[in-house]
Amino acid sequence: MRERKWKDCPSCNSIGTMKLKKNAKETFNIKKYQPITISDIEGYFCSNCGKGIYTIRAKKKIKSLLALEKAKQDSLRVVAADLMDIGYISKKLGVSIQRVYQMMNEGKIDYVFVGKNRFPIKIDDATLNELKKKVRTRKK
Ligand SMILES: [Zn+2]
């Protein structure tokens, strides 16, 4: 994916109204979670209609922070039986333990905190297989 510099607004078709904003802020309302606000995100915003497009880096930051905030909230309600062993996932996906942690950071695998440690939330075999496909395509 290449970063694109937006000038014209794809929403309202205004010409030259898209301006880079480095400290945008958005509150995400996700079902079953308290609203999560993320600040200092970079994107191009239209001075006419207000619509914005986040940069690739900002999108990654959002994905990662949403996963982290969801994990913190889930930590209060998820029980031990809902957790999955990291070793099991790494074996199933054919990737290293470190890569599994990385996937949690990237928001690809949901997790919770148990004390200071992070544990993946249980995923069914179908979802595991989906993940496995993605891991495989990336290697090529
Ligand atoms: Zn616009």
Q: What tens digit of pLDDT does each residue of 95-140 get?
A: 999 999 999 999 999 999 988 899 999 999 899 999 998 887 655 4
Number of structural domains (the chain) is 2
**Separation of CA 7 and ligand 1 centre (Å):** 10
- This prediction has a pTM of 0.80
Quick check: 14 pLDDT over 70? yes
Give the dihedral sign, CA 5/103/92/74. negative
- Give 16 Cα–ligand 1 centroid separation in angstroms: 9
User: Domain check: are 64 and 1 in the same one?
Assistant: yes
Does one domain contain both 70 and 7? Answer: yes
d(CA 105, CA 113): 13
| Mean pLDDT along residues 66-89 | 92
41-63 pLDDT, tens digit per residue, is 999 999 999 999 999 999 999 99
- Centre of ligand 1 from the C-alpha of residue 6, in Å: 11
Average pLDDT over residues 4-19: 96
59 and 94 housed in the same domain? no
Residues 70 and 9 in one domain: yes
- Domain housing 21: 1-74
